[in-house]
Amino acid sequence: MKTYLKILATGISLPEKVLCNADLERMVETSDDWILTRTGIRERRITEKEVATSDLGADAGRMALASAGKNPEDVDLIMVATATGDQMFPSTACIVQAKLGAVNATAFDISAACSGFLYCLTVAYSLLSSGVYRNALIIGAETLSKITDYSDRSTCVLFGDGAGAMFVELGNDGKGMFASHLGSDGSYASLLNLPAGGSRMPASQETVANGQHYIKMNGNELFKVAVRSMEEAARRTVDKAELDTDEIDLLIPHQANIRIINSLRKRLDIEKERVYVNIERFGNTSAASVPIAYHEARTAKVFDKNSNILLVAFGGGITWGGVLIRG
């Protein structure tokens, strides 16, 4: 009998502080009109100085556990997808585990930038299907504001902070995740990266003076690769599920740019009404974007228990992925 990865509950955490386009107009040479028409973003959430990725991740995880009616001790596995972990090590998942008091869980991070949450779902599906664990708390959490150069107008208008979580178990009642496709192409690594602070270029006064501890992005090139890789991820996932794109009730894409989302949906021949978009309010929250959007759509009852929901993402690496969920 086919098993499904049941999404028992979801949670999110978003900082209260809002950075709107008018605020950015005062920081760099840009305009509300440029940002809105070129990206679809009106505002994004930004953490206070003392808040780290694990704080948002733990809050989202706590909300998902409470909503599932589970105690922290019930959790077998914690995975955190992030590109902005609290530290190089230990993993942010271990820090989240301690914050939650999930004393029986194994905890580790997954590094796949904006596709990270879909990588986590796929790994959880395999580990639960093979019987290694009974359940998992999966979290996508980011504080991109901490690695954003607010004097670089080509990147600072895009990113926001936030976290989304799912508590999952296996099930066989036909509801939950039932297909996925992941891909990577490291030859595009330089299109989106953070140059300093790792073993290639350890942090030094020079790297800080040169701003190499901030995100560097070739936006134009990434745009083209994003549309291509998300289309491939969507088609391969739908094929694996033996469905057709017209059987997709709701597309939840990674929220990087409204123009990328529109190009993708046109290529897939999916009308606007079948696409969930919240980029206007949160900007690009990397690994958190898909679980935040899924949580919102589920809470607002945008889909029902028989809907086919296609999650699609791409990110630095480059990486891409698609996941199909029923209900």
Alpha-carbon distance 34 to 5, whole Å? 41
Residues 52-111 interacting with ligand UT7 (rule: CB under 6 A): none
186 CB burial (10 A radius; 0-12, 13-18, 19+): exposed
Residues 6+ apart with CB under 8 A from 300: none
Interface segment toward ligand UT7; rule CB under 6 A; list 68-76, 214-222, 245-253, 261-269: 214-222
Neighbours of 220 (CB within 10 A): 9
Question: Is 20 an annotated catalytic residue?
Answer: no
C-beta nearest to ligand UT7: residue: 219
**What tokens does 34 get?**
């440029």
Helix 92-100, helix 53-68: angle, nearest 10: 50
Residue 303 or 314 with smaller CB distance to ligand UT7:
314
Q: Tokens 């800080």 belong to which residue?
A: 208
284 binds ligand UT7 (CB under 6 A): yes
Binding marks (x or -) toward ligand UT7, 231..270, rule CB under 6 A? -------------------------xx-------------
Query: Three-class SS of residue 69?
Result: coil
Question: Is 114 an annotated catalytic residue?
Answer: yes
What minimum distance in Å lies between the beta carbon of 16 and ligand UT7? 24
Question: Is 284 an annotated catalytic residue?
Answer: yes
- Contact by Cβ (8 Å): 293, 252: yes
Binding marks (x or -) toward ligand UT7, 104..143, rule CB under 6 A? ----------x-----------------------------
Binding footprint of ligand UT7 on the chain (CB under 6 A): 30, 34-35, 38-39, 114, 153-154, 157, 192, 217, 219-220, 222-223, 226, 256-257, 284, 315
